[in-house]
Amino acid sequence: MAKQINVALIGNPNTGKTSVFNALTGLNQKVGNYPGITVEKKEGICKLPRGVKAHIIDLPGTYSLNASSLDENVVIELLLNKNDKDFPDVAVVVSDVENLKRNLLLYTQIKDLEIPTILVINMSDRMTYKGIKLDIPYLEQKLETKIALISTRKNRGIDELKEVIANYKELSVKPCLNASEIDTDYFDKLRKAFPNQLLYKLWLVITQDVNFGKVDRNQIDAIHSFKTKSEADLKRLQQKETIKRYQFINNTLKKGQTIDLNSAKDLRIKLDRILTHKVWGYLIFGIILLTIFQAIYDWSSVPMDFIDSAFASLSEWTKHLMPEGAFTNLIAEGIIPGLGGIVIFIPQIAFLFLFISVLEESGYMSRVVFLMDRIMRRFGLSGKSVVPLISGTACAIPAIMATRNIESWKERLITILVTPFTTCSARLPVYLIIISLVIPEGRFFGLSYQALTLMLLYLIGFGAAIVSAWILNKVLKIRSKTFFVVEMPNYKVPLLKNVALTVLEKTKSFVFGAGKIILAISIVLWFLASYGPGEQFNNAEDIVTQQHALDNLTQDELDQKIASHKLEHSFIGIAGHAIEPAIRPLGYDWKIGIAIVSSFAAREVFVGTLATIYSVGSDEEETIKNRMAGEVNPILGGPLFNFASGISLLLFYAFAMQCMSTLAIVKRETNSWKWPMYQLVIMSAFAYLVALIAYQFLK
């Protein structure tokens, strides 16, 4: 059996660490969370020379081992805990050729932990463009390591990196410098008190608030009790340590790196002036968003129509192929339409993730964060709050997890509470089907009314988040003060491989995550819609035949009347009629009521639920959209999904907290049920009120 080694990928944000991870692991990767915390954990498998397998862990980005946030703590806790199953046999520190000085601070700290460490210098393809020259043998000698000079964009140096990782036992574990010289007396006492422990590990335990898992708590408490210096003195020592490290790095790079500034051809400053301009910056961002929403409609219409028709045909084909009975009905009327209700939206969701990935990969998203900080500060939020709010367009769950980068508890809490207002991809199926039913297909200055409506819904959601944040900032009596710092990475042409892997991974998790819920709910809904209590359901054929005895109906028309009568008196029909009085003022019937209740499991279940309900008893080869368009309002007559009820439904979903997974993650992040319950009650009440006003005004 081939040996497997643990490899930790470590580096500052924006050094191309994800690109290196993708280059090493390809499709052999998975994303989860670290046990007990909501920090994302990316890991994958890489085949190395001589049959060695590497288990690669992509650790969260960190600037140093002086942690200031939850995800930075993860890096320190892993590197200090040899009992952890993921403790690295070798650390791979990824640096950026243009920011080598800053990146090397983290590298020198990790070297002090005496872990075999490789230095990867990424983006080597930009060296000529930037006028950079490196003396690799000299740098290897001074930094006590092997250096892999790579370019993930040009796919250069990856094989050499794999070779160095495979030979990690040949690497020196000697530190680059003697950091204890900042206070020799103090460190000598520390060494004598704990002679069997690594000196720099002791220093990190004293200065950091970290968790050591299976490490003996008595030993950790003993180390903590060695704090013979005040917190202020320890902070000053940390600053001295950082200065000493930078002195070493400066001296090393004086000889090991030369930069010809005259040959550097950089458009970055000119682009930043435009993209972060107080007027043009917002205008450009607005145009980019409009273009994205227009493309989501135009590019995905063909595959969507194909999927819609294919599932309708598959359902009909299944009925003809399989023998009549409950199992055939379950497949044809429950499972197939339910799954069709989610698969149809794969094109739009894939395009949404594609555009978000391109914006992040290009470096533009950091400019958006910087730009929006000017607005955020007025509403009690940090510029860092924009990252969760923007990533909330994909899903509120990872967006809420992303708030761990916000140091201030008040700003973090406010961001967590308002992020669910941002339109996520789970709302997209609801928006798209309703917009296609109630918004006409005209164009305004080349932009379709439907794309403009979708854009407006995103803006309404973002606006609701901002206004809510302003209110919460006034209401919550929590004292806090933080400073906003954001790094502007260099502009890059997005790597096709990175974009493709992101789209594949995100779309797959969306489809399979939602698919499990939809499949289960579709089966339950089919059962509830196919069976019912009492005479009205069991004798539906006799009752309907007698009622329409004089109407000269064809057999197909009579079958439809029987199916409709059965559905109305089934278990699901009874439940729907029970809640109908509460939702009738919003313009909804009992079927929409059932869809709203079931979509609390996941918003995207709404369309699948209606597809299942409308499919029960239907023999016509119709698409979901056609069935919904054909629904008649039982009281007012005319289409059930008209402009008034459609806008009411869109606004209800824009504001309602229709996601139990989000509530669960809020509970986990805030460690209390109080905040998610506030979210559920306030957002749902607000959504009901807005939907009520909209319908009553528009009808």
pLDDT in tens, 511-528: 776 566 666 767 777 788
Residues 442 and 323 in one domain: yes
Residue 425 lies in a domain: yes
pLDDT of 40 over the 50 cut = yes
Alpha-carbon 531 to chain mean position: 39
- Give residues with Cβ within 8 angstroms of 391, minimum separation 6: 356, 398, 399, 402
Q: Are residues 446 and 564 in the same domain?
A: no
Cα–Cα distances in Å, from 432 out to 286, 367, 461, 470, 510?
Answer: 20, 29, 16, 30, 17
Q: For 87-101, 319-333, 447-461, 639-653, which range has the lowest pLDDT when averaged over its residues? A: 319-333
Find the distance separating the first CA and the last CA of the chain, reported in whole Å.
Answer: 71
**pLDDT per residue as tens digits for the range 605-664:** 677 667 666 655 454 445 666 767 767 766 666 777 788 888 999 999 999 887 777 787
DSSP secondary structure letter of residue 43: E
Contact 7, 57 (CB under 8 A): yes
- Specify the CATH number for the domain of residue 251: 3.40.50.300
Residue 337 and residue 370 share a domain: yes
47 φ/ψ angles, rounded to the nearest 5 degrees? -90, 125
Specify whether 87 is located in the same domain as 29. yes
Asked, for residue 105, whether it belongs to a domain, the answer is: yes
**Token pair belonging to 133:** 């020259």
Dump pLDDT digits (tens) for 445-456: 777 888 888 889
pLDDT over threshold 70, residue 262? no
480 found inside a domain: no
For residue 383, pLDDT over 80 is answered with: no
What integer best gives the mean pLDDT of the chain? 80
Rounded Cα distance, 98 and 127, in Å: 8
Given a contact cutoff of 8 angstroms between Cβ atoms, the answer to whether 355 and 628 are in contact is no
Whether the Cβ atoms of residue 11 and residue 93 lie closer than 8 Å to each other: yes
What pLDDT shows up at residue 266? 61
Same domain for 431 and 559: no
**Of the residues 428, 449, 475, which one is the last residue of a structural domain?**
475
Residue 396, pLDDT score: 76
The pLDDT, as a whole number, for residue 94 is: 93
State the pLDDT at residue 29: 60
* Helix extents (H) in 257-279: 268-275
Residues 326 and 450 in one domain: yes
Residue 135's identity, in one-letter code, is D
- Which one, of 420, 425, 357, 429, lies nearest residue 389 by Cα? 420
Q: Is the pLDDT of residue 90 over 90?
A: yes
Shared-domain flag, residues 653 and 560: yes
Is 493 inside a domain boundary? no
Can you give the pTM of this predicted structure?
0.61
Residue 302: pLDDT over 60: yes
Contact residues for 686 (Cβ-Cβ < 8 A; gap 6+): 655
Could you tell me which of 92, 220, 191, 186 has the C-alpha nearest to residue 147? Answer: 92
Give yes or no for a contact between 389 and 396, defined as CB atoms under 8 angstroms apart: no
pLDDT band with cut points at 50, 70 and 90 for residue 139: very high
pLDDT band at 56 (very low <50, low <70, confident <90, very high): very high
DSSP assignments along 302-318, one per residue:
HHHHHHHHHHHHHHHHH
Q: How far is C-alpha 549 from the chain's CA centre?
A: 58
When divided into structural domains, the chain yields a total of 3
Residue 484 lies in a domain: no
Are 600 and 676 part of one and the same domain? yes
Q: Among residues 451, 475, 499, which one ends one of the domains?
A: 475
Position 619 scores a pLDDT of 46
The secondary structure of 87-105 as a DSSP string is --SEEEEEEEGGGHHHHHH
* Residue 39 pLDDT level (bands cut at 50, 70, 90): low
Same domain, 244 and 344: no
- pLDDT at residue 395 tops 80: no
pLDDT one-digit tens code per residue, 182-221: 888 888 888 888 887 888 888 888 887 665 544 444 555 5
Least confident of 32-41, 280-289, 507-516, 587-596: 32-41
Asked whether residue 471 falls in the same domain as residue 521, the answer is no
State yes or no: pLDDT of 688 exceeds 90: yes
Residue with tokens 């930075």: 72
Cβ-based neighbour number of residue 411 at 10 Å: 24
531 plus 466 within the same structural domain: no
pLDDT of residue 615: 58
Task: Confirm if 321 and 289 have CB atoms less than 8 A apart.
Answer: no
Average pLDDT over residues 218-237: 69
94 token code pair: 């990824």
> Do residues 22 and 138 both lie within one domain?
yes
Residue 34 forms part of a structural domain: yes
| 632 SS3 class | strand
Region for 144 from its dihedrals, namely left if φ exceeds 0, alpha if ψ lies in -120 to 50, beta otherwise: left
Q: How far apart are CA 507 and CA 348, in angstroms?
A: 10
Which of 426, 455, 475 terminates a domain? The answer is 475
Contacts of 284 (CB under 8 A, 6+ apart): 274, 275
Model pLDDT, residue 34? 39
- Measured from the Cβ of residue 577, the count of other Cβ atoms closer than 10 Å reads 15
Task: Tell me which residue range forms the domain holding 683.
Answer: 514-698
pLDDT digits (tens, 9 = 90+) for 151-185: 888 888 899 999 999 999 999 999 988 888 888 88
Provide the pLDDT confidence category of residue 33 given band limits of 50, 70 and 90: very low
